[in-house]
Structure 1
Amino acid sequence: MTSKLPYIMIAFAAAMWGLIGFFVKGLTAAGFSAMEIVAIRVLTAAIILILVGIVYYRNHLKIRLQDLYLFVGTGILSIVFFNWSYFTAINLLSIPIAVALLYTSPAFVAILSFLFLKESINRKKLLAIVLTVIGCTLAAGITGKGGATFSVSSILIGLGAGFGYALYSIFGKIALRRYHPFTVTMYTFIVASAALVPTTGIAGKASSVFTGDIWLYAIGLGIFPTVLAYFAYSWGLERTESSTAAVVATLEPVIATMLGMIVYGDRLGSLQLLGSAMIIISVIAVNITLPKREQKKHFPV
């Protein structure tokens, strides 16, 4: 029987990502911009990972220079590009539409995995992806009745967030063929930090990060929805298909919505409840394999 632990680890990563709003709210209240918060996130994560690596993963600290492009892929093309696209889309569009466009990522992963990783797209996986995309759209509250119109460029930027989000699964899958999950996670955030810290000017605000309760938000942001989440996701991704991992990871908006209801008193409409249910159904559908008859049971299903 195929182990479900990789899917559990990916779901755990999704749960950790669902907590990000708590830390972002705290840092936003302290006066940091969206991209400064991203810079704090990746820099804090990189420092923590380097320290953990020196103590526990000394045998996994080296990479080949010719493989650096993989971490440019996970760190800059994915983490940095995804965040830039996502926050730009929030400003140009609206948060619900930006979130919905972000979670088109499973469709991008399935297509990219088919093209570059030679992974198949069967009917069950295709149905799960379709349900996920529709579910995320409904969960985000898009009803089509608002009458708002947006430019093509702003929609493409929003889709860029989904594409950038998907690239982590693709580059990460290739990197995991050669490196330990810890190595992949650490160098992803080292490269992302090298790109973000100089361009956001967060270094000039370094003294203000560690005042009052800000350092708790900064370190918490670096540990829970970042280090733990990406390590768990990389561990699970190493042991399953990229497209399947991406679908399981879309539990994140459901978990974030539940936390919002419990902690912040957010209310869900019927369409959002339906969308959340569709996401859960898609995750169940992609992971449950119905048993076949006794004959041919020696064949994988």
Structure 2
Amino acid sequence: METILSEIQAAPTKAARRKSILYMVVCASLWSIGGIFIKMVPWNALAIAGVRSGIAAVIVYAYIRHKKIKLQFVKSAFLSGFFMSGIFLSFVIANKLTTAANAIVLQFTSPVFILILSAVFLHKKCRRGDLVTVTATLAGISLFFFDQLTPGGILGNCFGILAGLMVACAYLVVGEVDEETRMTGILLGQIFTAIIGLPALFFTHAEITTPAVLSILALGIFQLGIPYVLFGLAMKDGSALACNLIGAIEPLLNPVWVFLFNGEAPGFFALIGAVIVVVAITLWCIWNERVSRLKEAVD
């Protein structure tokens, strides 16, 4: 779900790059279990998001303390936290209202929103390859709405798109900030989500059962908390291209787990749209990396 936030660090060793790839593979694989465990918790979406982020906040804070990272409560960190909270809330709501495949693939469209927002607000010129990617991705997104969906399913798709938009906003706000500001934003995002979502646990019918408790623990610890620690480690020595491509494991595995354990499958048009989106974004990542390297070589 969040791989477009990765940045290149200077001259990492071969061993460090391999370790970064391993971290990212584990990270994306753990991210991918979100759909199935969200489906297994019979709670209100806000309650799930609140408890999940509350648990994850403890893990992220423990990592920050262990690494002795100094928290930076600056404007960019708070804005990042706001958008990160939007990601967490929108993703859980989308999973409750539409299929897990729709939710994760629509969130995966975040690079396209970065291109659009950069052109509108930062006045950056779109290259031909960018325009082709935006067009193909938007065409893929439109197919998600061709399936026979209930009003709730359509709303779920909208929240999936909103999650992708929130990822793009978080990236544009944070940019290439230092680790302290980045980790502060991540922690604030978890805290904001917990504050918003936890009250729903008490004001809605949240049945406390063993499967529900185990599932929410898995979400907070293994799907959100630990992956963010691994993602932080992967970003230090991994290339942007590698992190983005490995991150594609999440939208590929997420619907597989849900289908195997829940029997939920995306519709025909949504499946075609998912293929178009994932292929378009992946090819754009490869093309963009090559163009950047050629430009650096010329300069």
Q: Same fold (TM over 0.5)?
A: yes
2:200 alignment partner in structure 1: 200
Letter in 2 for 1:282: A
The C-alpha deviation readout for 1:164-212, integer Å capped at 9, x for no partner, is 24323223435x3352754443343234334443x43559999x86x63
1:212 matched to 2:205? The reply is no
1:260 alignment partner in structure 2: 258
1:22 matched to 2:22? The reply is no
C-alpha distance in 2 between matches for 1:279 and 1:123: 17
**Equivalent position to 1:33, from 44, 47, 72:** 44
Change (3 A) 1:299 1:33: same
Change (3 A) 1:23 1:90: closer
Change (3 A) 1:126 1:86: same
Change (3 A) 1:78 1:196: same
Task: Name which of structure 1's ranges 262-271 and 217-226 shifts more when overlaid on structure 2.
Answer: 262-271
C-alpha distance in 2 between matches for 1:212 and 1:298: 55
C-alpha distance in 2 between matches for 1:135 and 1:251: 19
**Higher relative contact order structure (alpha carbons within 8 Å, sequence separation ≥ 6):** 2
Secondary structure of the structure 2 residue equivalent to 1:299? helix
**Equivalent position to 2:114, from 109, 123, 127:** 109
Offset at residue 257 of structure 1 (A): 2.1
Secondary structure of the structure 2 residue equivalent to 1:143? coil
1:63 alignment partner in structure 2: 71
The alignment-based identity, stated in percent, is: 19
Offset at residue 277 of structure 1 (A): 2.8
C-alpha distance in 1 between matches for 2:288 and 2:106: 32
The C-alpha deviation readout for 1:254-273, integer Å capped at 9, x for no partner, is 32222233333444555344
Change (3 A) 1:156 1:227: closer
Letter in 1 for 2:223: P
Offset at residue 121 of structure 1 (A): 3.8
1:50 matched to 2:65? The reply is no
Task: With the length of structure 2 as denominator, give the TM-score of the two structures.
Answer: 0.66
Aligned counterparts, 1:49-198, within 5 A: 49-54=60-65, 56-57=66-67, 59-60=68-69, 62-65=70-73, 67=74, 69-79=75-85, 81-84=86-89, 99=103, 102=107, 104-114=109-119, 121-138=126-143, 140=144, 142-143=145-146, 146=148, 160-174=162-176, 176-177=177-178, 179=180, 182-197=183-198
Change (3 A) 1:172 1:18: farther
C-alpha distance in 2 between matches for 1:101 and 1:11: 21
2:4 alignment partner in structure 1: none
C-alpha distance in 2 between matches for 1:19 and 1:291: 29
C-alpha distance in 2 between matches for 1:123 and 1:287: 14
Q: 5+ residue gaps in structure 2?
A: 1-10
Change (3 A) 1:223 1:119: farther
C-alpha distance in 1 between matches for 2:239 and 2:121: 16
C-alpha distance in 1 between matches for 2:121 and 2:234: 20
Which structure: larger Rg?
A: 1
Offset at residue 23 of structure 1 (A): 1.8
Secondary structure of the structure 2 residue equivalent to 1:274? helix
